[in-house]
């Protein structure tokens, strides 16, 4: 049995086992009794709570009814991939986040379980209606397989009470070098233990989502447009070395502050780090979990890597896709547009989750001008929208998460080299980073080789189709 066959059977086995749990969900995805209408899955409880009243109002007016179920990421991944690769049932509409969606893009284009929406989006003029960069995580080999749920631009959140006390003018900061110089006064040692009581930035090489957003901001890439791994290059090495230089030596400015944990929230409330990466959804997380700093926080554009450079990045993402096995594509398509293009949903996403809609026509809604007391009355929605068109493009590779993990490993090994040799300048660390990135790329390429034959065949077929079209319309060939 080859690796691909074994992998498929593992997915099938997981799908069967997870199906039992899915069948038993309250109001479940499959109840054991045939149910008319369309079924939709989402992984996010907050999303489900926002959608339920919109769906109920829609179901009362028109059919077919849509039945929504919120299931765990693990159950969704197993059920979705099991359905795509082995023909087991899935929902008619699936809302899935980036880390899982990419796994559906393994192998030839014909094996992708989501319906190709490219032509429909083009014919209905929807490509211009949605923030263009928000399509990139759901685009594989030129085909779009999902409607974007969000944009998730990243800003820098900071403790204004602490920067004011240190006499720091945050508006004067343009680059990361400016940031490192300007924030150094916050690194005081008030308890006399020989270590700073706080650091300028919450960051560590193991924070792979932050490593990715910084890499993207600086023009780095993990995969090229054809899906080939590109971890090992001079740009990535230079950027990674600069990140590592923040984490050690006499000029250290970064500290590890865990996200989504009680211990991390305690450090945030104490001001152990002054500045944090804030995608739009992170505002809601802080508002709910760290009430003690309400009114003390502010948002600003990210410092650029170089003067005139990009002042934002992107972190996270969700799409709504229609599986090829959906019972009624036209009804699914109509509902997907009804839900995602709804102005009511755009306002609800922002008011309840601080999420900026990717639907451009809704950006003028006054909701985004509302002052937020948590951020000292800033109209933060307008600031996020200002930078929404500038988010960097992202890879849809099914290997992206593994590549990020290896990228984090490369960062840690580079930091170990720095501590072992006592060298902490980015220029000195770049050769070490490049070597570790080469090792990381080799590992990813070994993993990718299992499906490379299918990608190569698909690319050759697409080139053949393109040549055939040129010949048929007289634009190519010898004439």
Q: What is the mean pLDDT of residues 38-61?
A: 96
Average model confidence (pLDDT) for the chain?
89
Say whether pLDDT at 19 is over 70.
no
Per-residue confidence band for 157, with pLDDT thresholds at 50, 70 and 90: very high
Q: Of the candidates 276, 281, 260, which has an alpha carbon nearest to the alpha carbon of residue 381? A: 281
Q: Of the candidates 314, 316, 315, 319, which has an alpha carbon nearest to the alpha carbon of residue 147? A: 319
Q: How far apart are CA 425 and CA 412, in angstroms?
A: 15
**Cis peptide, bond prior to residue 224, ω within 30 of zero:** no
> Could you read off the pLDDT of 291-315 as tens digits, one per residue?
999 999 999 999 999 999 999 999 9
Q: Give me the residues paired with residue 278 across strands.
A: 155
Q: What are the helix and strand counts (H, E) for the chain?
A: 16, 13
Q: How far apart are CA 406 and CA 437, in angstroms?
A: 8
Residue 468: predicted pLDDT: 53
107-111, 143-147, 257-261: which range is least confident on average? 107-111
Asked whether the domain spanning 153-313+391-445 has the same topology as the one spanning 3-151+316-385, the reply is yes
Q: How far apart are the first and last CA of the chain?
A: 49
Residue 392: predicted pLDDT: 98
Per-residue confidence band for 60, with pLDDT thresholds at 50, 70 and 90: very high
3-state secondary structure of 53: helix
Beta carbons of 339 and 53 less than 8 angstroms apart: no
Q: How far apart are CA 44 and CA 283, in angstroms?
A: 17
DSSP 8-class letter at 363: G
Q: How far apart are CA 22 and CA 313, in angstroms?
A: 36
Q: Give me the residues paired with residue 144 across strands.
A: 139
> What is the radius of gyration, based on Cα positions, of the chain?
24
Residue 87: predicted pLDDT: 72
Say whether pLDDT at 463 is over 90.
no
Per-residue confidence band for 329, with pLDDT thresholds at 50, 70 and 90: very high
**Domain 153-313+391-445, CATH:** 3.40.190.10
> Could you read off the pLDDT of 404-461 as tens digits, one per residue?
999 999 999 999 999 999 999 999 999 999 999 999 999 999 999 876 555 555 545 5
Beta carbons of 289 and 269 less than 8 angstroms apart: no
Residue ranges per domain, the chain? Answer: 3-151+316-385, 153-313+391-445
Say whether pLDDT at 25 is over 80.
no
Exposed, middle or buried, 433 (CB in 10 Å: 0-12/13-18/19+)?
buried
- The residue written with tokens 């792979």 in the block is 208
DSSP 8-class letter at 229: B
Exposed, middle or buried, 189 (CB in 10 Å: 0-12/13-18/19+)?
exposed
Q: Of the candidates 2, 6, 16, which has an alpha carbon nearest to the alpha carbon of residue 87? A: 16
Q: How far apart are CA 6 and CA 25, in angstroms?
A: 29
> Could you read off the pLDDT of 354-393 as tens digits, one per residue?
999 999 999 999 999 999 999 999 999 999 999 999 999 9
Q: How far apart are CA 337 and CA 62, in angstroms?
A: 14
- The CATH H-level (homologous superfamily) assignment of domain 3-151+316-385 is Periplasmic binding protein-like II (3.40.190.10)
Sequence-ordered list of residues with C-beta below 8 angstroms from that of 213, at least 6 positions apart, any chain: 154, 277, 313, 314, 315
DSSP state letters, 87-152: -----SEEEEEHHHHGGGG-S-GGG-SB---HHHHHHTT-TTTB-GGGGGGGEETTEE--EE----
Task: Work out the angle at residue 316's Cα, subtended by the Cα atoms of residues 315 and 317, and round it to the nearest 5 degrees.
Answer: 135
Say whether pLDDT at 474 is over 70.
no
Beta carbons of 343 and 362 less than 8 angstroms apart: yes
Residue 269: predicted pLDDT: 98
């Amino acid at each position: 049995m080859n690796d691909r066959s074994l992998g498929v059977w593992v997915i099938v086995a997981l799908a069967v086992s997870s199906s039992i749990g899915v069948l038993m969900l309250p109001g479940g995805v499959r109840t054991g009794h045939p149910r008319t209408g369309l079924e939709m899955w989402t992984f996010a409880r907050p999303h489900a709570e926002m959608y339920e009243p919109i769906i109920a109002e829609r179901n009362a007016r028109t059919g077919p009814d849509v039945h929504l179920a919120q299931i765990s990421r693990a159950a969704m991944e197993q059920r979705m991939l099991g359905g795509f690769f082995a023909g087991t049932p899935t929902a008619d509409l699936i809302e899935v986040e980036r880390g899982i969606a990419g796994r559906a893009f393994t192998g030839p284009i014909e094996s992708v379980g989501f319906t190709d929406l490219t032509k429909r989006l083009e014919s209905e003029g929807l490509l211009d209606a949605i923030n263009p960069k928000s399509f990139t995580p759901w685009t594989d080999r030129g085909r779009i397989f999902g409607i974007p749920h969000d944009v998730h631009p990243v800003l820098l959140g900071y403790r204004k009470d602490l920067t004011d006390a240190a006499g720091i003018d945050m508006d004067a900061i343009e680059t990361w070098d400016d940031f490192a110089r300007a924030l150094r006064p916050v690194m005081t040692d008030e308890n006399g233990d020989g270590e700073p009581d706080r650091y300028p930035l919450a960051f560590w090489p193991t924070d792979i989502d932050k490593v990715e957003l910084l890499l993207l901001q600086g023009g780095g890439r993990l995969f090229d447009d054809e899906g080939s791994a590109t971890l090992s290059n001079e740009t990535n090495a230079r950027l990674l070395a600069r990140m590592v230089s923040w984490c050690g030596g006499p000029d250290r400015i970064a500290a590890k502050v865990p996200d989504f944990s009680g211990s991390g929230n305690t450090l945030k409330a104490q001001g152990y780090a002054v500045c944090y990466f804030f995608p739009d959804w992170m505002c809601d997380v802080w508002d709910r979990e760290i009430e003690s700093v309400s009114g003390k926080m502010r948002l600003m554009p990210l410092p650029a890597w170089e003067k005139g450079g990009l002042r934002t990045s992107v972190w996270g993402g969700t799409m709504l896709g229609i599986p090829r096995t959906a019972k009624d594509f036209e009804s699914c398509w109509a509902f997907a547009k009804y839900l995602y293009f709804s102005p009511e949903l755009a306002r609800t996403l922002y008011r309840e989750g601080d999420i900026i809609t990717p639907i451009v026509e809704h950006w003028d809604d006054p909701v985004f001008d509302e002052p937020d007391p948590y951020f000292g009355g800033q109209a933060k929605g307008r600031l996020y929208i200002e930078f929404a068109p500038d988010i960097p493009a992202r890879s849809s590779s099914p290997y992206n998460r593994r590549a990020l993990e290896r990228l984090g490993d490369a960062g840690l090994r580079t930091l170990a080299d720095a501590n072992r040799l006592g060298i902490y300048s980015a220029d000195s660390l770049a050769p070490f980073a490049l070597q570790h990135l080469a090792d990381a790329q080799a590992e990813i390429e070994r993993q990718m080789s299992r499906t490379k034959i299918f990608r190569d065949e698909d690319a050759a077929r697409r080139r053949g189709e393109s040549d055939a079209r040129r010949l048929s319309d007289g634009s190519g060939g010898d004439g």
